[in-house]
Amino acid sequence: MRDSLLRIVSLVRKEVLALVRDPRSRVILFVPPLLQSMLFGYAATFDLNHAPYAIYDEDRSAASGDLVARLEGSGVFERVATIQRSSDIARLIDDRDALLVVHIGPDFARKLSAGQKTDIQVIADGRNSNTAGTAVAYVSAIVDGFNADWRAAHGMVDPPVTANVRAWYNGNLETSWNMIPGLIGTITMLQVLMLTALSVAREREDGTFDQLLVTPIRPAEIMLGKALPSTAIGLIQATIILLVAQLWFRIPFAGSLLTLYGGLIPFVIANVGIGLFISSLVANMQQAMLFSFVILMPFILLSGLATPVANMPDVFQWLTLIDPLRYALDITRRVYLEGATLGQLVGDLWPMILISAVTLPIAAWMFRNRLS
C-alpha cells in the first residue's frame, strides 16, 4: 500500500515535471484556454450589434422620421445606406452590404394620421437565416414600441391583451451569458482529452512505456499516475476560463463554486478516461491526435453548446447520452446562471461517473494487454 502510494506519487511528479520543464507544454497549458475563451466569448454570439441596415423612406414625414430614429437609437442597427430607388434594395442585400432593408411606403404618415393601419416592409438577408430572424425580431420590437407610443399619443385603444415578458436567469437574454459558461466545459474537454491521449502515445513512441511496464508499477497505478495530473490540469484550465467569464466578461455567477467544482471534477475525470481509452488503442502520436479530434467534434456539436439538444431528433438525443460535455454544459450553465445545487444535478453527475468507471479500467487493462 505504502509502495503503491510511493509509485503513484513518483508518476505524478514525473508528469508534472515533464510539463513544467518543457516551455512548449507550459504555453500549451495556459495560452489556448485563455485565447479560446476570449475568442469564443466575443465571437460566439447570436445577438446583434451594429447590424448594417439600409433605410428606404419614401414618406420622409415626421412619423417615419420618428420610426427611423428609433431604429438608429436602438444600438442594434447601424445605417449603411439611404436608398432612393427600390431597385437599390436588391444590390445592397446581394452584396451583403446590408443585412436588412427597412422600406417605409409613401403613404405611411397619411394612413397613420387617418387612423388607418399601415405597414412597413422589412427585407432581410437570409443567407444566415438565424441572424435574419433575430434582426427581424429586433425591428418588430422597435415597431411595437413605436405603436404603443403612437396609440398613447393619439388616444387609441391599446390591444385587449398585452404580453408581459420576463426572462429568468438572463434578464436581457444575452447569448454570451449562455455561451461563455458553456465554454468552461468545452475548452476543458478539448484540451484534456487531447493532452491525455497524447501523453501515453508519446510514451509509447519514446519507448518509456515499456520501461514503465518492467518496473513494479501496476497498470492501475499508471492509470492513476496519468489521470491525476491530467485532472489537475483540466481543473486549472477550467478555472482560467471561469475567471475570464467573471472578471473579463463580467457575467454574474449565481451558484456556489463548491457545487461547480463538484460537477467539474467528475467531468474532467470522464474526459481523462476517454483520452486514456483512445491512447490505449492508437499506435503513435499522429493517430492519437487525429482520433481524439474525430471523437471531439461530434461530442462538442452534440453537446448543446451552439444548438440545443432539445432541437435534435431522438436518435441524436440518445447519442448525446454518452457525451460527457452534454452533462457538463448543463451543470456549468445551471450552476453559473441558475444557482443550482448539487442535489439538483444528480441526473448529470452519475452518467459522467459511469463513463469514467467504464473507460478508466479498460484503459488500464489495455496498457498491458494491447495487441502489439
Partner 1 sequence: MSEPADTAPVDAAPDRVAGRMRRVRALIVKESRQIMRDPSSIALGIVMPVILILLFGYALSLDVRNAPIALVIEQPSAMATEIATGFRLSPYFEARTVTSMAEAETLMRAHEIDGIVHVRSDFARNVASGDASVQVLLHGTDANTARIIENYALGTIGLAAQRLSDEGNPVAGNGPVKIRSRIWYNESGNSQYFLVPGLIVLIMTLTGAFLTALVMAREWERGTLEAIFVTPVRANEILLGKIVPYFGLGMIGFALCVFAAEVLFRVPLRGSFAVLTGVSMLYMLVSVGFGLFISSVAKSQFVASQIALIASFLPAMLLSGFLFDIRSMPVALQIFTQILPARYFVTLLQTIFLAGDIWSVILPNTAVLALMAFVLFAATLRATRKKLA
Partner 2 sequence: MDVARPAIEGSDIVKRFNRAGGELVTALDGVSLTVNHGGLAALVGPDGAGKTTLIRLMAGLLTPDEGSLSVLGIDIARDPQAVQDRIGYMPQKFGLYEDLSVQENLDLYADLHGVTAEERRKVYPQLMDMTALGPFAKRLAGRLSGGMKQKLGLACTLVRAPDLLLLDEPTVGVDPLSRRELWEIILHLVREQGLTVLVSTSYLDEAERCERAIVMHDGTVLAKGPPRSITEIAAGRAFLATPPEGQPARLLQARLLNDPGVTDAVPQGGRVRLVKASADGDGPDGVDVTAVEPRFEDGFMALLHEAADPGQTASLSLGRKERRRDGETVVEVSDLVRQFGPFTAVDHVSFAVKTGEIFGLLGPNGAGKTTTFRMLCGLLPASGGTLRVAGVDLRKARASARQRVGYVAQKFSLYGQLSVTQNLEFFAGAYGLSGRRRKERIAWAMEQFELAPLAKLPSGQLPGGYKQRLAMAAALLHEPEILFLDEPTSGADPLARREFWQRITALAEEGVTIIVTTHFMEEAEYCDRVIILDAGQVLARGTPAEIRGHAPDNEEREPTMEDAFIAIVEEARREHGRPGERSAA
Q: Which chain residues interact with partner 2 by CB under 8 A?
A: 3, 6-7, 9-11, 13-14, 17-18, 21-22, 206-208, 210-218, 372
Out of partner 2, partner 1, none, what residue 144 binds, judged by CB under 5 to 8 A for its kind, is: partner 1
Element (H, E) at 347: helix 346-369
Smallest gap from Cβ 217 to partner 2, in A, equals 5
Out of partner 1, partner 2, none, what residue 21 binds, judged by CB under 5 to 8 A for its kind, is: partner 2
- Nearer to partner 1 (CB atom), residue 121 or residue 215: 121
- Nearer to partner 2 (CB atom), residue 14 or residue 91: 14
Out of partner 1, partner 2, none, what residue 277 binds, judged by CB under 5 to 8 A for its kind, is: none
User: Which candidate, 52, 74, 46, 89, places its Cα nearest to that of 144?
Assistant: 74
Phi, psi of 202, deg, nearest 5:
-65, -40
DSSP code per residue over 19-79? HHH-HHHHHHHHHHHHHHHHHHHHH-----SSEEEEEEESS-SHHHHHHHHHHHHTSSEEE
Smallest gap from Cβ 276 to partner 1, in A, equals 18
Smallest gap from Cβ 132 to partner 1, in A, equals 5
Q: Which residue has the cell 481524439?
A: 292
- Nearer to partner 2 (CB atom), residue 75 or residue 216: 216
Out of partner 2, partner 1, none, what residue 50 binds, judged by CB under 5 to 8 A for its kind, is: partner 1
Smallest gap from Cβ 60 to partner 1, in A, equals 16
Smallest gap from Cβ 259 to partner 1, in A, equals 15
Out of partner 1, partner 2, none, what residue 69 binds, judged by CB under 5 to 8 A for its kind, is: none
Contacts made by residues 291-300, CB under 8 angstroms, sequence distance 24+: 291/197, 292/193, 292/194, 292/197, 292/198, 293/194, 295/193, 296/189, 296/190, 296/193, 296/194, 298/323, 299/189, 299/323, 299/324, 299/325, 300/186, 300/189, 300/190, 300/325
- Nearer to partner 1 (CB atom), residue 227 or residue 282: 282
Retrieve residue 280's grid coordinates. Answer: 490505449
Burial class (CB in 10 A: 0-12, 13-18, 19+), 62: exposed
- Nearer to partner 2 (CB atom), residue 129 or residue 369: 369
- Nearer to partner 2 (CB atom), residue 289 or residue 301: 289
- Nearer to partner 1 (CB atom), residue 339 or residue 361: 339
Residue 184 region, left (φ>0) first, then alpha (ψ -120 to 50), else beta?
alpha
Out of partner 2, partner 1, none, what residue 246 binds, judged by CB under 5 to 8 A for its kind, is: none
Out of partner 2, partner 1, none, what residue 44 binds, judged by CB under 5 to 8 A for its kind, is: partner 1
Residue 199 CB neighbour total at 10 angstroms: 21
CA 308, CA 320: separation in Å to the nearest integer? 11
Smallest gap from Cβ 19 to partner 2, in A, equals 9
Strands 100-104 and 51-57: parallel
Smallest gap from Cβ 212 to partner 2, in A, equals 7
- Nearer to partner 1 (CB atom), residue 194 or residue 269: 194
Smallest gap from Cβ 173 to partner 1, in A, equals 4
Out of partner 2, partner 1, none, what residue 83 binds, judged by CB under 5 to 8 A for its kind, is: none
Phi, psi of 362, deg, nearest 5:
-60, -45
